[in-house]
Amino acid sequence: MNNLERFYLGRYLQAPKRNLLRFSFVFMILGIVLSVGILSAGLNLFQGYESSLREVLLGSFPHIAIQDADSDYISMEDAEKLISTLKSNDKVEMVTPTVTYSVMAANDTRVRGVSLNAYYFDAHNPFPYAKYVKEGSSQLADGEIIVGKYLAKELGKKCGDTLKIVYPQLDKISAMGLFPSERLYKIAGIYSSGFYESDRSQIICTINDAVSLLNITPSYAKLELRLKPGAIDDATHIAEQLQQQLGLSYLLYPWTTFSAGLLRLVTMEKWLIFIIFSFLVLISGINVISAVTTIIFDKRNEIAVLRTLGSSNASIKRLLALQVGLTGIAAIISGQLFGALLSFLVEKQSWYHLKGDVYFIDSLQATISPLNQMVVFLVSALLISGCIWYPLKQIDKMQIIELLRNS
Amino acid sequence: MLCLAGYEISKSYIDSDQSIHVLTDANLELNEGEMVAITGQSGCGKSTLLHILGLLDKPDKGRILIGGREVHAGMAEAAMIRNQELGFVFQFHYLVEDLTAKENVALPAIIAGVSIGKAQKQASELLERLGLSQRLNRYPNQLSGGEQQRVSLARALINKPKIVLADEPTGNLDPDHSEEVWQMIINLNKQFGQAFVIVTHDHESARLASSTYNLAKGYLSLCP
């Protein structure tokens, strides 16, 4: 930046109203604010969706699941040995033995297929998903269950009500036909993780109740591992290490096996939306081209004077680029603030909810990520800069003498 | 010593498929500290000659020498020569509307690389010498025609050029202001020793110059 450019920069900053908020800039500013606002809000909402989905997936599902390679069950003795081995790993936060079965939940008129998850928990082994029990208690006694929010709603049940759980026992047929196993349980809590499928089809009970209902020998279907926060992204590598430690008698499934693809897809969609919305900024660039063309026309006398006084074309172009550019930067930052406001309003509105069966989660959340905002700023600034420089090329073709004669 | 010279300068324009010869083999020499006036009727090509001498326009033919060195409008150093060795005063002053009188005067110095503070100090001093100490921070539209032209003169002088080219500097002023500006040019010429080329259609004022050229029908001739 030479002295002349510094001088003009000082002038622009000293009197921004006179130099930067010119009438010919109004539509340019509006266009940039709107397009950057939409781009920014879109990215905030997609980032929020990505973060929420990741949080729900990692919060309501095990980080690593361990099953017996040769059997559907892990015996109590084997499970104890495994638990003590796994707990010695400093990256493992919690190990929970689990039984999972498909059963039916019925009220007087309706029957729903549900997933019965029984956990072994006591004072030393807390229920791993306790934070999602939004109503009632997460401490279950035998005879009590926790029911998913939407399942309870569909069956018209609430905390304190009783719910009939039916297990068909298809492998036990008598001369009289099928004799399903059924029990009445008291609903002690309502489970709401935000992951639609879990909230619609999950029932949680104690291991004792599961053994009794399913008529199985006391054992576990799998062990669920939760990793410490810093180790979650390293689940694949940790699973490989544990696999070597435990041998081939067990199968280990890190969360990435089932969910990483989905999260990658969401991330890809986020950047795809970003690219599409970036075209809005490019369209608002038409107003920038128009504003720059107008300012060149308005300032042709000044351009002629500066060139007569010995200023170079490049320097004059930088002066005008600085003037429009400073306004553009202010408009981009305003657009980002507008985007934050827009995403806040979308998050708080109550007339539209995500369809949980389509989008997995049912609430819109916005996350303002500094990295994303930096990308929005840089891409917008780059596109706007291109739209500023393109019309400035006409200054090279201007003849001083023609400008002076026509003034 | 010769500071500006133009030899065999010719320039023509095409107007409605017709070639109009504005200048034909015009010769002019200007010594250091000399004041030369070019007179002629309106539209005869006086301004064109001044623009060619000031490296703002290209001649069809001819040579221009500034300080003994051959120069032309298309050369890379033309902008630097206009900034350092030439000063310009125009009939319509061409002050930058968004800048104050002091800032307008400081512009050539700032372009030359002088620090902003120093350039503005020099501009203030120059404007004070031209009697505009009360008008330093006024914008051009807050100044009278005579004041605007004095600011324009100060701007032409701030880089202490050897040559000042003035195109009808009083053409837009009333007789009182016109007289005031002429006196100022004569005083500056005596005080600072700068050479002046003044284009005017006012023959009375032109007599104040040390030599006068007349331009008629494309031919430039030295008046006796």
Q: Do B113 and A404 touch (CB under 8 A)?
A: no
With a cut of 70, say whether residue A299 has pLDDT above it.
yes
Model pLDDT, residue A87: 87
**Residue-level pLDDT at B80:** 92
Both tokens assigned to B33:
């500290």
Q: What DSSP character marks residue A20? A: T
Residues A151 and A190: their CA atoms lie apart, in Å, by 9
Mean of all residue pLDDT scores within chain A: 88
* SS3 call for A137: coil
Q: What's the pLDDT band for A379 if we cut at 50, 70, 90?
A: very high
Q: Which of A301, A302, A310 sits opposite B79 (nearest CB)?
A: A310
| A137 — pLDDT class (breaks 50, 70, 90) | confident
Q: What's chain B look like in SS3?
A: CEEEEEEEEEEEEEECCEEEEEEEEEEEEEECCCEEEEEECCCCCHHHHHHHHCCCCCCCEEEEEECCEEECCCCCCHHHHHHHCEEEECCCCCCCCCCCHHHHHHHHHHHHCCCHHHHHHHHHHHHHHCCCHHHCCCCHHHCCHHHHHHHHHHHHHCCCCCEEEEECCCCCCCHHHHHHHHHHHHHHHHHHCCEEEEECCCHHHHCCCCEEEEEECCEEEECC
Q: How confident is the model at residue B7 (pLDDT cuts 50, 70, 90)?
A: very high
What is the three-class DSSP state of A341?
helix
A185: Cα separation from own chain's centroid: 36
pLDDT of A73 reads 85
What pLDDT does A127 receive? 77
A271-296: pLDDT as tens digits: 999 999 999 999 999 999 999 999 99
User: What is the pTM for the complete model shown?
Assistant: 0.78
3-state secondary structure of A328: helix
What is the model's pLDDT at position B100? 93
Q: Is the pLDDT of residue A55 over 90?
A: no
B182-201 pLDDT per residue, tens: 888 888 888 888 899 999 88
Report the percent of chain A where pLDDT is more than 70: 96
Distance CA A315, CA A204 (A): 72
User: What is the DSSP annotation of A158-222?
Assistant: -TT-EEEEEE--TT-EETTEE--EEEEEEEEEEE--SBHHHHHHEEEEEHHHHHHHHT--SEESE
Mutate to test the interface with A, among B50, B57, B66, B80 (most CBs of A within 10 A): B57
The pLDDT of residue B119: 95
pLDDT beyond 90 at A371: yes
The pLDDT of residue B5: 92
Query: Dihedral of CA B94/B98/B100/B105: which sign?
Result: negative
Burial class, A380, CB count within 10 angstroms (exposed 0-12 / middle 13-18 / buried 19+): buried
Name, in order, each residue with C-beta under 8 angstroms of B131's C-beta and a sequence gap of 6 or more: B150
Question: How large is the average pLDDT for residues A299-324?
Answer: 91
Beta strands in A322-396 (DSSP E): none
Angle between helices A313-348 and A26-60 (to 10 degrees): 50
Mean pLDDT value across residues A72-81: 87
What is the rounded average pLDDT for all residues in chain B?
A: 88
Read off the pLDDT of residues B101-139 as tens digits, 9 standing for 90 and up: 999 999 999 999 999 999 999 999 999 988 888 989 999
Closest-CA residue of B relative to A312 is: B79
| Position B61 confidence tier, pLDDT thresholds 50, 70, 90 | very high
Neighbours of B56 (CB within 10 A): 24
Say if residue A188's pLDDT is above 90. yes
Q: List, in order, residues 6 or more apart from A181 with CB less than 8 Å away.
A: A166, A167, A169, A213, A214, A215
DSSP SS3 for A119: strand
- How much is the pLDDT for B172? 73
User: Residue B102's pLDDT is what?
Assistant: 95
In the predicted structure, residue A41 carries a pLDDT above the cut 70? yes
Closest-CA distance of chain A to residue B104, Å: 10
SS3 A374: helix
pLDDT band at A171 (very low <50, low <70, confident <90, very high): low
Angstrom distances, CA of residue B129 to CA of A277, A321, B191: 60, 36, 11
Please name the residues in contact with A367: beta carbons below 8 A apart, sequence gap of 6 or more.
Answer: A44, A47, A48, A50, A51
- Which ipTM value was assigned to this complex? 0.90
With 0-12 / 13-18 / 19 or more C-beta atoms within 10 angstroms meaning exposed / middle / buried, residue B211 is middle
- Name residue, tokens 């002091």: B102
Choose the mutation target among B82, B111, B151 for the interface with A, i.e. most A CBs under 10 Å: B111
**For residue B95, what are the CA distances in angstroms to A132, A224, B50?**
72, 80, 19
A123 pLDDT more than 70: no
**Identity of the amino acid at B1:** M
A240 dihedral zone (left: phi>0; alpha: psi -120 to 50; beta): alpha
How do the domains of chain A map onto residue ranges? 3-57+262-406, 73-220
Of A155, A159, A189, A191, nearest to A60 (Cα)? A191
Across residues A92-104, what is the average pLDDT?
A: 89
Distance of CA A395 to the CA centre of its chain: 47
Test B82 with A304 for CB contact under 8 angstroms: no
| Average pLDDT estimate for B151-179 | 86
Instruction: Please compute the mean of the pLDDT values over residues A245-273 and round it to a whole number.
Output: 90
Measured between CA atoms, the residue of chain B closest to residue A2 is: B113
- B-chain CB neighbours of A302 within 8 Å are 96-98
Residue from B15, B42, B49, B96 to probe the interface with A (highest A Cβ count within 10 Å):
B96
Q: How far is CA A174 from CA A142, A170, A178, A217, B25, in A?
A: 29, 10, 6, 20, 126
Class of domain B2-85+161-222: alpha beta
Chain length of chain B: 224
- Per CB distance under 8 Å, which residues of A are interface residues toward B? 2-4, 6-7, 10-11, 18-19, 301-302, 304-312, 315, 400-401, 404, 407
Q: pLDDT for A252-261, tens place per residue?
A: 999 988 888 8
Q: Are A192 and A132 contacting, i.e. CB atoms less than 8 angstroms apart?
A: yes
Q: Which of A142-146, A193-197, B56-60 is predicted least confidently?
A: A193-197
Here the tokens at position A219 are 């054992």
Chain A residues within 8 A of B94 when measuring between CB atoms: 301, 304-305, 308, 404, 407
The percentage of residues in chain B with a pLDDT greater than 90, rounded to a whole number, is 46
Token pair for residue A88?
């010695």
Task: Check A11 against B108: CB less than 8 A apart.
Answer: no
Predicted confidence at residue B76, as pLDDT, reads 84
Helix, strand, or coil here: A63?
coil
Is residue A170's pLDDT more than 70?
no
User: pLDDT: is B177 or B106 the higher one?
Assistant: B106
Q: Give the type of residue at A186.
A: K
Note whether A22 and A292 are within 8 A (CB). Answer: no
B207 pLDDT tier (thresholds 50, 70, 90) = confident
Mutual angle of helices A313-348 and A3-14, in 10-degree steps: 40
pLDDT band at B9 (very low <50, low <70, confident <90, very high): very high
- What pairs with residue B10 in β-bridges? B61
Per-residue pLDDT at B188: 82
